[in-house]
C-alpha cells in the first residue's frame, strides 16, 4: 500500500469523522472564512471530499480555486460539489502547487498532521513562497492540550486515530506538533486569530504573511 493513501476510505471518511467528532470537524473549518476578501485567488491543499467548497462559493470568496488533492477518489467526490466559482482540480502532491502561481489565500484543513517535523518545517517557507503580498494562510488541524485532564484525553483519542489510519491508509506521521506556535514563531508568518473546537482538540488559525527584511 502506498503511503498516506486515502483512496481506500474516501467514500467513508466523512461518515467516520462525523461519528467520532460530530459537526465540529466541519464547523471548525469555516471559522475564518469571514476573514477572506471577496474574489480572492484560493489554493486548497488536501481538501478531501470538498465539503468546504459550497461555503466558499456561497460567500463569493473566490475569483479562482485551485484544489490539490493526492487521492483520485477524494478528487472525484470533491467534483460532485456543484459550485459557480472557477475551479481547477489537481490530482497531485502538494509540491505541484508551485506550478500554479501565487495565491491570496491558502487553506490546509486537516493536512499538516500528515507531515513529520522535518517536512512541516520545510512546508512553512513553501507556503510563504506561494502567497501573494499580504496573503493569508488558514490552518485547521488537531492538537494536544498542554494540561491534564484534556491532555490525557486528547492523547487517547489521537492514539485511536493513529491506529485506525495506520491500518487503513498506511499513515506515516504519528505525532502532532504545536503547529500554531511553530508557524507564528517562524520569520514567515504572524498569527491573526485562533479558534478551538471539540474540547480544544481542534484549532483553526489564520496567519498573515510577514514582510521579510
Query: What's the number of domains the chain is made of?
Result: 1
pLDDT of residue 121: 97
Q: Which of 71, 67, 171 is nearest to 116 (CA)?
A: 171
Q: Is 134 left (phi over 0), alpha (psi -120 to 50) or beta?
A: left
Q: Assign residue 57 the CATH number of its domain.
A: 3.40.50.150
Q: Which three cell numbers stand for residue 159?
A: 492514539
- Strand pairing category for 103-109 and 40-45: parallel
Rounded mean pLDDT, 178-205: 97
- pTM above 0.95? yes
Report the pLDDT value the prediction gives residue 213, as an integer from 0 to 100.
Answer: 75
3-state secondary structure of 134: strand
Domain assignment of residue 29, yes or no: yes
40-45 and 62-69 as β-strands: parallel, antiparallel, unpaired? parallel
d(CA 205, CA 112): 13
Range of the domain at 96: 6-209
- Average pLDDT of the residues in 94-117: 98
DSSP 179: H
- Higher-confidence residue: 1 or 170? 170
Tell me the β-bridge partners of 87. Answer: 65
Residues in a beta bridge with 139: 108, 205
pLDDT digits (tens, 9 = 90+) for 86-97: 999 999 999 999
Question: What whole-number distance in Å separates Cα of residue 92 and Cα of residue 68?
Answer: 6
Residue 167 covered by a domain: yes
Given a cut of 80, whether residue 3 has pLDDT beyond it is: no
Helices (H) and strands (E) in the chain, counts: 7, 7
Q: Is residue 1 part of a domain?
A: no
Q: Is the pLDDT of residue 165 over 70?
A: yes
* Nearest Cα residue to 77 out of 108, 109, 107, 54: 54
Kindly state the average pLDDT of the residues 34-44. 98
- Residue 161 domain flag: yes
In a domain, 65, yes or no: yes
**How far is residue 47's CA from residue 74's CA, in Å, rounded to a whole number?**
8
| Average pLDDT along the chain | 97
Angle at 98 between CA 71 and CA 69, to 5 degrees: 10
Identify the helix (H) or strand (E) that includes residue 52: none
pLDDT higher than threshold 80 for residue 194:
yes
Model confidence at 1, in pLDDT bands (50, 70, 90)?
A: low
Amino acid at each position: 500500500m502506498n503511503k498516506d493513501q486515502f483512496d481506500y476510505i474516501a467514500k467513508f471518511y466523512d461518515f467516520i469523522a462525523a461519528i467520532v467528532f460530530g459537526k465540529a470537524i466541519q464547523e471548525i473549518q469555516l471559522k475564518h472564512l469571514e476573514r477572506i476578501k471577496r474574489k480572492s485567488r484560493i489554493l486548497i491543499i488536501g481538501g478531501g471530499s470538498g465539503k468546504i467548497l459550497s461555503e466558499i462559493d456561497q460567500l463569493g470568496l473566490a475569483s479562482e480555486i485551485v484544489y490539490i488533492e493526492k487521492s483520485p477518489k477524494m478528487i472525484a467526490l470533491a467534483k460532485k460539489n456543484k459550485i459557480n466559482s472557477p475551479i481547477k482540480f489537481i490530482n497531485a502532491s502538494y509540491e505541484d502547487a508551485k506550478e500554479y502561481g501565487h495565491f491570496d489565500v491558502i487553506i490546509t484543513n486537516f493536512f499538516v498532521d500528515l507531515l513529520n517535523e522535518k517536512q512541516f518545517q520545510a512546508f512553512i517557507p513553501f507556503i510563504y513562497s506561494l502567497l501573494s503580498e499580504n496573503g493569508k494562510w488558514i490552518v485547521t488541524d488537531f492538537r494536544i492540550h498542554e494540561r491534564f485532564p484534556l491532555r490525557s484525553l486528547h492523547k487517547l483519542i489521537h492514539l485511536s486515530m493513529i491506529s485506525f489510519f495506520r491500518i487503513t491508509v498506511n499513515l506515516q506521521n504519528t505525532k502532532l506538533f504545536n503547529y500554531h506556535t511553530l508557524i507564528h514563531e517562524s520569520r514567515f508568518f504572524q498569527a491573526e486569530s485562533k479558534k478551538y473546537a471539540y474540547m480544544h482538540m481542534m484549532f483553526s488559525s489564520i496567519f498573515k504573511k510577514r514582510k521579510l527584511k
